[in-house]
Amino acid sequence: MPPITYSRNKLLIKPNCSTNQDNTSILTTVIFNNERIEIDDLKDTSSGTKRHFKLNGTLVTFTGTNPNGKLSCIYKLTYGEFTTYELYKYFSNTNHPIIRYAFDQLFIRPNCSMEPERNVNLKTILFNDESVEGEYLQNTVSKSKDNFKLKEGSIYYTGRNPKGKCTCVYKLSYGEFKTFQEYHFIEDTILPEVIYAQDQLNFHPNCSREENLYTKLKTIVFNDKKIEVEGFDDATLSQMGNIKTTKKLLLYTVKNPEGKFSCVYKVHIGGIEKSQNYKSISNETHPVVEYSFNGLGYKANCSRHLNSFTHLRGIRFKDDRTTIVSLQRSRVGALGRLKLEKDFVINTEKNPNGTLFCLYDVPIGEVMITKSYLTFKTGDEENSSNKMEYAASMILGYMIVISMII
């Protein structure tokens, strides 16, 4: 016989044995799991009760709370004896562990079995606010409805990358119960790009050993170099190229990293990648601009914003030196030869001779862009004086270099 199934505390009829199965058999013994009582022992008590057994008229009842197991009724015949059996099983609402999986890597869909055990039958499956009756799918030709499909004795939720709670509602002999399981997906992460001035990066690319309790570091990847770190102790990791260990991090030690750095993590199902691109910016020296006297055609200048992450901070030309902040606060927006005009700081000299220094802030550090200007020979005395000025500056530069070498 199928077991009597019931939800906890909802059993309407206690397990029992009739004292008279028929006119030819007499109940002698009742057993529930490992508990046993002889009928004569119950008859000898004034209350008809002993331990978890009670004699009440023609029935011997097992009085234990939420019985779970096998009831045996042993009857004596004229010749020999026989035993009847009945199974009892109770069910409670059950919360299964959360399933965490990498995006697009769940290989077992949320599902409910139509009959996980005898006399336990699926009534309804729900996923968040979607639901379908088990009986409905059994009676349809397609065996499917919306995001639910009946296949090989189970109803599956077919939505892509499920996120939320799957609930299975089961009917029992008495009452019903539910099982719950939550699904959470974890996606790859792309962190903001690290842009820094060359030789000024103040940290190393790194990976957390554990992002959380369910995410463990497996592999470190830098461009086309892959380092497997899972399962190694710190002593072994420290012997691997470029790896340095701390309590919570693994550092990838490389000077002026350039390219994609990735941390590959294992999750319960699948793996995810956390990546970040590194880009260095170097100082720049532009070619010398040589021009005829009065023939430059534009003002020597520093752009305030080379791009979205490179912003002008300081400007110098010969003995004139200032900052963007100072020019913005100045009543006339100028200092010496240097003047703020919209998105530029210009050198107001008509015929500049010398080097313009533009100092820029980048997200990490600073870079310098230098632009040199020189008038070439035109045959007039103005050019002669410019040449002598430039020559003097060059001689002074050489003297400084020589003194440094000495």
Residue-range domains of the chain with CATH? 4-91 (2.60.40), 94-186 (2.60.40.10), 189-281 (2.60.40.10), 284-404 (2.60.40)
Q: How far is CA 135 from CA 113, 130, 311, in A?
A: 13, 16, 67
pLDDT tens-digit series, residues 303-349: 999 999 999 999 999 999 999 999 999 999 999 999 999 999 999 99
Mean pLDDT value of segment 155-161:
97
Reported as a single tens digit per residue, the pLDDT across 347-364 is 999 999 999 999 999 999
pTM of the model: 0.77
Summarize pLDDT for 165-222 with one digit per residue, the tens: 999 999 999 999 999 999 999 999 999 999 999 999 999 999 999 988 889 999 999 9
**264 within 8 A of 273, measured Cβ to Cβ:** yes
Give mean pLDDT, residues 58-72. 96
Greater pLDDT, 397 or 211: 211
pLDDT at position 389, please?
Answer: 52
Answer yes or no: is pLDDT of 69 > 60: yes
Residues ≥6 apart with Cβ < 8 Å to 257: 201, 205, 222, 278, 280
pLDDT band at 378 (very low <50, low <70, confident <90, very high): low
Q: What is the pLDDT of residues 5-24, one digit of tens each?
A: 999 999 999 999 999 877 78
Q: How far apart are CA 33 and CA 328, in angstroms?
A: 91
pLDDT at 393 (0 to 100): 47
Alpha-carbon torsion angle 220, 226, 229, 231, nearest 10: 130
Mean pLDDT of 64-83: 95
What integer is the mean pLDDT of 373-397? Answer: 56
